[in-house]
Amino acid sequence: MKLLYKSFFLCVLLYALSFSQNIKVTYAYRPSEAFETEEEVYLNNGYKVSIVDSILEKKYKPREYGSDVTIEKDKGVKRYRNILIDDISKNNTYFTYQIKKTNYIVSDNPPPIKWNLKYKETKKIGKYTCKKATATFRGTNIEAYYTQEIPVSIGPYKFKGLPGLILEITTVGINYRYWVVKNIQYPFNGTPDYSSKYIKSLPKIGIKDLVKKIDDNNDEDQSIILSKIQLPNGAKLGKVETIGGNARGMIENKFEWE
C-alpha cells in the first residue's frame, strides 16, 4: 500500500513539474522596419510551437522597448499561417514556408547556438530584469535579452538555449528582425492553436531543398526581369548574384553547408 501511495505521489509530482514548464509567450514581431505582427510561442510537453500570422500587416507606433505595445491594424487578408514545431530533446525542427503560393513543411536540424553570456549589461523589460547575450546563428548576428526569473530556455523562431526565457531579440545587420515580449502566461494550461491535420497535408522537403528552391526561384525571377530590359546593340547585362540570406529574405544568412 505504501508503495502504491509513493507511486501515486511521484506521478502527481512529475505531472506538476511538467505542467509548470508549459508556457505561452506572445511577442510583437517586426519582420521589417515598417510592419509589425505577433508571434505566439508555446512550450508544451517538451515541444516548442511558434505561430505567426504574418500576412496581416500591422503598422506600429514608436515606443520604448519593453513598454506596453500599441498596434494599429491595417485592413488586410490573412492567407496562411507560419508554424514552427521544435522537438527540443531531439533538435528536430519543422516549419512551414511558402514559395509561389505553395506551402511546404520543411525539416531542419539547426546547429546549437553558441551564446556569449559574458556581459554585465542588463535591461528592464516589463517587470523582469534581463541579461544580455549575443551569438551568430547561421551567419546572422543576434542580440538577445533573457530573464532567469522564468527558467524556460526558449524564445521566438528557432532561438533557444539561454538560461532563461528570451524577452527581446534583434538581428544585427541587413536582414532586420525584432521581437519583444507582449504577454506571458506561465504556467500555461492549454494547447497550441494550430491544425496538425493541416501540417501533415503539406508537401515535405528538407532545409537544403528549400534553400535550393528559393535560389532557383530568385534566378528565374531575375532572368524574367533581365529579359524585359532593352539594351543598346552589343550591350550585355551580367548576372546579379542573388545567393545568400539577404536575397532569400530569410533570417539565416549562411547555412552550414555553404
Query: Tens of pLDDT along 166-178?
Result: 999 999 887 789 9
CA distance 23 to 149: 13
More confident site: 18 or 224: 224
All domains in the chain, ordered by first residue: 22-197 (2.50.20), 206-248 (no CATH)
Residues 60-68, mean pLDDT to the nearest whole number: 43
Is residue 12 very low, low, confident or very high in pLDDT (cuts 50, 70, 90)?
very low
Q: Residue 69: pLDDT band by 50, 70, 90 thresholds?
A: very low
Is the pLDDT at 190 greater than 60? The verdict is: yes
Q: Which three cell numbers stand for residue 53?
A: 500570422
Q: Which long-range contacts (CB under 8 A, 24 or more apart) does 92-99 make?
A: 93/158, 94/199, 95/50, 96/199, 96/202, 97/210, 99/210, 99/213, 99/214, 99/217
pLDDT band at 23 (very low <50, low <70, confident <90, very high): very high
Judged by DSSP in three states, 35 sits in coil
- Average pLDDT in the chain: 81
pTM over 0.95: no
Q: How far is the C-alpha of 60 from the C-alpha of 72, rounded, in Å?
A: 6
Residue 79 and residue 55: Cα distance in Å, rounded?
Answer: 6
